Amino acid sequence: MYTIIHTSLIRQSKALSLLCELMEEEYTALLDRNTDAVVALEFSIQELIRQLAAEKATVITTLAGVRVAEYAGSLSAEEGGALLELLRAIDKAEQGVARQATRNSQLSLALLDQSSRTLQALTSQAMPPKAETYGRRGGMRVQHHPEAALISGRL
């Protein structure tokens, strides 16, 4: 049982370090606005997260719900210390992944906001000033301004 848990924790630790690298690469792709790379990386990230969840489920079912730290306490000092060290590495890697995920999320939301504002600005410039411009009364007629009526008479 120790070997199963130990190897699963090692795989989790390596998967989390890979996940952090993928998320940093995704951040770079977001900065470069390379949407194809972001989509490809997102699929890889989702698959890796699925595999991590499966590894965690394996540990939980192997230990029948007992926490790994409690199980490590019941082992010899060497084996228990190895498991606790792996747990610390996994916790540190999870925190790094969470920080990077927050950065990626903030950047993607900022890019979405910027794109939305740019689209609104372009749309407002392209729209005709009045709704009836292209209607049945329409045509692109010159608008007469009432303030110019004073100097429009004959001399």
**Rounded to an integer, what distance in angstroms lies between the CA atom of residue 93 and that of residue 15?**
9
Write down the domain spans for the chain: 2-125
Find the mean pLDDT for residues 4-11: 93
DSSP E strands, 74-152: none
Q: What is the pLDDT of residues 61-94, one digit of tens each?
A: 999 888 988 888 888 899 999 999 999 999 999 9
Q: What pLDDT, on a 0 to 100 scale, did the predictor assign at position 122?
A: 84
The HSE-up count of residue 8 (CA atoms within 13 Å, CB side) is 19
CATH architecture group of domain 2-125: Up-down Bundle (1.20)
Q: What pLDDT, on a 0 to 100 scale, did the predictor assign at position 65?
A: 84
- Rounded to two decimals, the pTM is 0.73
